[in-house]
Structure 1
Amino acid sequence: MASTNWNNGQLITLNPGDTATCQKLNANQIYGLIFYNSAGNDAGANISVVWSQSQPPAPVYVPGTTGNQGLASVLFVNGSDTTTVSAAMLQSQPGAQVQTYIASVKMPVDTSGINNQPLQADGQTHAFSKFTRYYTVPASHWYQAQIQSTINQFITIQFTEQTATVNVVNSLVDPGTLIQAVGSAVGQVTKNIVKNQTLSWPLQGNGQQIVFVNADSVQNSQSASISLQSLSALYS
């Protein structure tokens, strides 16, 4: 049983009995705890997340898979509810294992194991593989963002300081069983779910950072891409 200092939100591995604790959440910011099954077998994992001293822990189930191919399970929390969050994998789960990190405009501070890249507003498509985090600070004008994938049910998350948007293309079902929120975060999460291969939406910059993270599996990300195009020339 290991206890991990998770203050940097870094990518870590949890086994049965392990606990990771972060004491560095910022007030008013929304965070997503991203969990991937990494057991190498079909063992699912039950995680208990403590996010409040007055509310019971939130249960998170990470479905079993093989070869690190599963979708992410995500729990959104808000730093105004607590500055501390901890994730514990429950005992008596033989063979279970998960990889997890904290996503937000702030985290992970330690990006070891994360493909952390700037997203250029060049209108070009950029690969959006597993464990990828794109960040951008758009100027105060309009942009067009686009997610594209030929694979069913491709899931990404867009973060600002106080909001999170779950974007799903080629949707088959509502991903609500894998995407949860607690406390103040419940009112900060929205979903854009389309049955098409492409989701495109206008985005207005304000000089604050925006982050996009992949919440999908390896095989679902093979054909996935993201692009950001500045529209300022249209309004000159």
Structure 2
Amino acid sequence: MSTINWNNGRLIELGEGDTATSNGSLNNGQLYCLFFYNAAGNDASTTLQVVWSNSQPPVSVTVPGTTMNQGLAALCFIDGSQTNTVSIAITNGNQGAKIQAFIGSVKMPIDTNGINNKKLPLNGENQSFEKFTRFYAVPESHWYSGQIQSNINQFTAVQFAERSAEVIIVNKLVNPDTVIKYAGDAKDFVTITTSDTQTSPFNLQGNGQQLVWINADSTQNSNQAYISVQSLSELYLENNTTELEALSSLA
């Protein structure tokens, strides 16, 4: 039984009776998500309690059971404008429980030890997800086109802006509500986008602020999933230059 200082949102591991607290480290105006993976050696689900307010009851999050650390993540969103502190606990009675957790946002985790923290090239080339992968980018003030693709059922990733998030589910099969939870009013700032095919396309308009993409899927699924984002401004300039060169050759 241990108490963990979680102020930097780093990747941690908890067992039965353990708690972790991020005290005063959540920023006003930012949206956060707690990512929970079941790392136990058995197929038993584990329920955590997320404490975010003295006046509101904890949020119960059940992390689905799995074997060989291959399960999907359970998610809990928290609005930093409602609280700057959050604690998680695995209560006694969850025998053999082992949960890996980290805090994701445009800010978190501050300590990326154990996280694949990578700058996302905005050149349209596919970038492979891995477990605990966090891509970040600062798109300029124009339009971009992107997509997440996977041939695995129910692949899930989360895109973060400052105070909003989009949960993107590719090849959706089942309702994700059982593994996505919310503290307080956080649900008001989260959009869930699903696709019944192997690709989920999206457009985004850069504004000079950082965006972050974090996968919420298992190791074997993440290795077969990709993200790509391309600047439409550069594509337009490239096409326009080609047309001008063609016209010049006719002159």
SS in 2 for 1:212: strand
Query: Per residue, is there more helix in 1 or in 2?
Result: 2
SS in 1 for 2:185: helix
Give per-residue Cα distances to partners, 1:173-230, cap 9 Å, x unaligned: 1211101112121100001101010011111000000000000111221210001101
Rounded to whole Å, the distance in 2 between the matches of 1:70 and 1:6 is 23
Residues 181 and 189 in structure 1, CA contact (< 8 A), matched pair in contact too? no
Q: Give the percent of matched residue pairs that are identical in Structure 1 and Structure 2.
A: 56
Residues 80 and 184 in structure 1, CA contact (< 8 A), matched pair in contact too? no
Shift of 1:57: 0.4
**Counterpart in 2 of 1:16?**
16
**Counterpart in 1 of 2:249?**
none
Rounded to whole Å, the distance in 2 between the matches of 1:235 and 1:205 is 16
**Counterpart in 2 of 1:3?**
3
**Counterpart in 1 of 2:119?**
118
The structure having more radius of gyration, on CA atoms, is: 2
* Structure 2 runs not aligned, ≥5 long: 238-251
**Counterpart in 2 of 1:180?**
181
Rounded to whole Å, the distance in 2 between the matches of 1:174 and 1:138 is 32
Residues 37 and 45 in structure 1, CA contact (< 8 A), matched pair in contact too? yes
Residues 59 and 182 in structure 2, CA contact (< 8 A), matched pair in contact too? no
**Counterpart in 2 of 1:202?**
203
Shift of 1:235: 4.9
Shift of 1:163: 0.3
Rounded to whole Å, the distance in 2 between the matches of 1:222 and 1:211 is 19
Matched ranges for 1:125-164 at <5 A:
125-164=126-165
**Counterpart in 1 of 2:45?**
44
Which aligned runs of 4 or more in structure 1 are off by greater than 2 angstroms?
A: 233-236
Rounded to whole Å, the distance in 2 between the matches of 1:35 and 1:170 is 21
Rounded to whole Å, the distance in 1 between the matches of 2:233 and 2:172 is 31
Q: TM-score, normalised by structure 2?
A: 0.92
SS in 2 for 1:232: helix
Code of the residue aligned with 1:172 in structure 2: it is L
Backbone CA RMSD of aligned residues:
0.9
